[in-house]
Structure 1
Amino acid sequence: MSVFLDQLVVKRNYLSETDLIELIALCSILPGPTSTQTIVSIGYKSGGPLLALFTMLVWALPVLVMMTLLSFLYQFLAEREIPFEVLRYIGPMAVGFIIVAAFRIGRKVVYDLPTALLMLFGAVTTYFIRSPWIFPAVLVTGGLVSVVLEREPGMWNPVRMAPPYRYLALFALFAVGGIALATLTQHRLVQLFENFYRFGYLVFGGGQVVVPVMHSELVHVRQYMSNQEFLTGYGLVQGLPGPMFSFAAYAGGMAARGGTALSQVAGAIAGGVGIFLPGLLLIYFVYPIWESLKQVRAIRISLRGIGAVAGGLIAAAAVILMQASGFQLDNLAVTALAIVLLLWRKIPAPLIVAAALVAGFAV
């Protein structure tokens, strides 16, 4: 967000600092990729829906292409008889990133006993119940608990709005139609699109929060990839500029392996388009009514509980992924070193990723 402030407010003067803060608040309320929705909102504010679409493409497409190419990494290594062991430290390093994300988000969302308990509730529940449906359930529960605990009159104050319902209808059509088609056809690409579209509209809090949801579905439920392959992709995306949700292109490509290169690229496209589309449609629907919507106090209050539970999801993911990576001494050392570098030395993430790759080759 500091980049948006520097480039779009200070240097380009596309909007005021107050406008940027309000747009960040709007996108924090919505499910989906927060940074992408923020920059799409700026595009919408500056030039309407078409510029918003172009803005998202310019923002996300380069890293989506890179992650699509990286989905072929394991095949590339196998064809050249390079052992997969060269990637062995990417997974433990990625666990370090997730632990740091849980710590930083926890500091932001926990500021009293109820939010601390909600974060604990989110962590414990998602640790013991490994099912895709549990994530939206605990997030909604967190929001409702916050509203109930507030107990103040006038939280659902009425406001006048004229929403563009056509975008909400499209959003619902893709959601319901995707589930129906995936169930009826059992086609891998349709299932991938439905999976990633669902990730896009169920996740509050941006790219770090989507990790436990995707890991549960893609590794444990669907078994599209191994834990090591998942963590490798997550670690590599840390070293690239752009939105974290672009990890979906890597995951979609990995899930579509076993056929032709074209089918694997199609899987990456299904993942990338699927995960970004709901966020785009929600901005198209919500942005025109934002001035009215932000006056509804209950929406802002519910965000406290949703944020606290989301922090718990990331904390649970850190524990689950650390267990899956194993407790070998070298893995623990890499995880600990990544945490230290991120928290105390403020080393840029791409340099940490590069160091993990070099260590895999050298050791």
Structure 2
Amino acid sequence: MVNYLPLGYITFGGPQAHIALLLDLFVTKKKWLSEEMFTELYAISNALPGPASTQLAFTVALIRGGVIPGILAFIVWSIPGGIVMGAVGYGVGQIGATSELPTSVLYIERSLAAVSIALVAQAAKQLVGKLMVDKISCTLAAIAVVLVINFTSTAWLIPLIMFCGGLVTYLEGEAPGWIAKYKEQKKKRDEEATFRPADVVAGSTENLVSSTADAIQPIQPVSAPQKVVTPAPEPKQDLHIYFSYSMKAGAVLIVLFFILLILAAVLRSYDINQPINILSTFYFVGAIIFGGGPVVVPLLYQYVVSSTNWLTPTEFLMGFAIINIMPGPNFNFAAFCGALAFRQNGWTTFVGAFLAWVGIFLPGLLIKAGVLPIWRHYRDLPVLKKIFKGLNSVAVGLLVAAVYLLWMKAIALSSNKVASLGEYSGWTGVMVVAFLAMDTWKIQPWWVVGAGAIVGALSWVIDGRP
């Protein structure tokens, strides 16, 4: 619990930066998990609907401490940003919205974005060194990078390449056995086809004597059997994984996920009352989002602006600008939308924010909690180890691709200038210094994040922009 307290306030930069912080804290420093287990959990999170980084943070606490610590860790992780976004939604509903933020805030956000690139680059470097062990792993990671950076808006892409990556390494592992079995069966068929019974009957006396002489050999002294030394098994790195519920309970959670999804789909088609509409709509959205935070914003626009008119386009853009400078998961944007969807009810606007916040997070946490005991029980099977090799390779590729996507992130620091983050030499310098500080000098990431915010504020002062 204590380890999670700072995370709700320093996890700037989106899901990829969150993954980098979690890797540094729980793998490198705390050594709660190995790189292989961490990447497996990350791969599963990407293959399931919901917020990948939040699911991963929830998962680490769940398998280390149990259900209650897992829930508390999730609350500590996400509630600070959720409260702020709900409060902003309330304020926008009362006084109106503007889609522009103060320039000083934009400077800070861009500096933090530069730091987040360094965080992701450091995590990618660590996992590449550990998990890219052969040509197949490197090839799968490279293919994932190429696909993700070219088709970022395709929601089903990540689950698809996860599936294909696992299939490739499964076939890689099983193919030698299949080939050897085929060759053995072919050899047996060839021997049966060339066997002639007449050869046995037509054997000569010389052959009989020769075979008898060969059969009688002098008795050789029997040497004492040598003791076979079995190497001691390597100690596992993940011995302290704790579960407080069984696979049956996990199956119940998965069934509950689908029951609530069907119920939400039915309820949102009827205009019963606004609280039910909000809860069912955001649960439905949370259950069909693949790809995590980057996908949630355009999908929410469809459901809260285009379909229901709960928000105006200007209000939505205002919330989008704010969520990009907030720490914590991007799914906290739902609290902003829920508050505005319930704006006509005064202070109970926060009820709408809470229902939307619970609705969008609940499906991802349910499905991940349901899958975990099944994964834990079967992850040591040889066939799953082969599959996870491919999933892990793709997951590393996703982190490498994130470095490029964050680098190319569009920013605007003036009314007539829009460019990518990488085109600003100052922010590039911030990124390089941040990477050096964490990777070489081993400075804690939260100190680097804080320094990044200060650098952004100083840049605004030096530039003298209004």
TM-score norm. by structure 1 comes to 0.67
SS at match of 1:84: coil
Structure 1 vs Structure 2 CA RMSD: 5.0
Deviations 1:9-63 (A, max 9, x none): 788x6xx343576245314412333343333233323432223222222332232
Shift of 1:171: 1.1
Unaligned runs of 5+ in 1: 127-133, 156-160
The CA distance in 1 between the partners of 2:174 and 2:257, in whole Å, is 30
Mark the CA change 1:93 to 1:249 in structure 2 (over 3 Å): closer, same or farther: same
Distance 1:333 1:302 in 2: 30
Find the partner of 1:142 among 161, 167, 173: 161
Q: 1:210 aligns with which of 285, 296, 300?
A: 296
Q: In the aligned structure 2, how far is the partner of 1:261 from the partner of 1:318?
A: 41
Residues 303-314 of structure 1 mapped to structure 2, 5 A cutoff: none
Q: 2:101 aligns with which of 51, 70, 87?
A: 87
How far does residue 73 in structure 1 lie from its aligned partner after superposition?
A: 3.5
**Retained in 1: the 8 A contact 2:267–2:276?**
yes
| Higher mean displacement: 222-231 or 2-11 | 2-11
Residue in structure 1 matching 2:256, options 140, 149, 170: 170
Does 1:282 pair with 2:367? yes
Given the alignment of the two structures, is residue 193 of structure 1 paired with residue 279 of structure 2, yes or no? yes
Amino acid at match of 2:296: V
Query: What does residue range 1-363 of structure 1 map to in structure 2 within 5 Å?
Result: 4=22, 16-19=31-34, 22-23=37-38, 25-30=40-45, 31=48, 32-75=50-93, 77-78=95-96, 84=98, 87=101, 112=139, 114-119=143-148, 122-123=151-152, 126=153, 135-136=155-156, 138-147=157-166, 151-152=171-172, 154=174, 162-164=247-249, 165-185=251-271, 187-204=273-290, 206-220=292-306, 222-226=308-312, 228-257=314-343, 259-295=344-380, 296=384, 297-298=386-387, 301=390, 328-330=415-417, 332=419, 340=428, 343-344=431-432, 346=434, 348=449, 350=453, 363=466
Larger of the two Rg values belongs to structure: 2
**Deviation readout 1:154-200 (Å, 9 max, x if unpaired):** 49xxxxx9442111121112111111111133654434333432443
Counterpart of 2:238 in structure 1 is: none
CA distance in 2, matches of 1:217, 1:314: 30
Please list the CA deviations of residues 191-228 of structure 1 after superposition, one character each: whole Å capped at 9, or x if unmatched.
43334324434445543453444345445555544555
* Inter-partner Cα distance in structure 2 for 1:174 and 1:352: 46
Corresponding residue for 1:129?
A: none
Q: Deviations over 1:76-133 (max 9, x none)?
A: 554xxxx83762757899799889989969x96996463355326633xx4xxxxxxx
CA distance in 2, matches of 1:92, 1:215: 26
Q: Deviations over 1:276-304 (max 9, x none)?
A: 21232234312223333434233553576
- What's the counterpart of residue 158 of structure 1? none
Decide whether the 8 Å contact of 2:279 with 2:356 is kept in 1: yes
- Tell me if structure 2 keeps the 8 A contact 1:209–1:310: no
Separation (CA, whole Å) in 2 of partners of 1:240 and 1:232: 13
Contact 2:61 2:73 in 1 (8 A): yes
Are residues 141 and 4 of structure 1, via their aligned partners in 2, closer, same or farther at CA, if it must alter by over 3 Å? Answer: closer
Contact 2:253 2:366 in 1 (8 A): yes
- Is 269-278 or 221-230 further displaced after alignment? 221-230
Does the 8 Å contact 1:98/1:208 carry over to 2? no
- CA 1:186 to 1:76, structure 2 compared with 1: closer, same or farther past 3 Å? closer
Conserved 8 A contact 1:93-1:235: no
- Secondary structure of residue in 1 paired with 2:147: helix
After the TM superposition, which of the residue ranges 86-95 and 110-119 deviates more from structure 2? 86-95
For the residue of structure 2 that corresponds to 1:29, the secondary structure is: helix
> Aligned in 2, Cα 1:315/1:86: closer, same or farther, shift over 3 Å?
same
Alpha-carbon distance, 1:275 to partner: 2.0
What stretches of structure 2 of length at least 5 have no aligned partner?
Answer: 1-18, 129-136, 176-245, 435-447
Count how many residue pairs are aligned between Structure 1 and Structure 2: 336
**Residues of 1 paired with 2:403 and 2:302: CA distance?**
12
For 1:275, give the aligned amino acid.
I
Equivalent residue of 1:260, what SS? helix
Sort the Cα spacing of 1:135 and 1:86 in 2 relative to 1 into closer, same or farther, 3 A: closer
| 8 A Cα contact 1:94 1:231, kept in partner | no
Please tell me whether the aligned partners of residues 238 and 353 of structure 1 are also in contact (alpha carbons under 8 angstroms).
no
- CA distance in 2 between counterparts of 1:99 and 1:221 reads 36
Tell me how far apart the structure 2 counterparts of residues 260 and 232 of structure 1 sit (CA, whole Å).
Answer: 21
Contact 2:106 2:413 in 1 (8 A): no
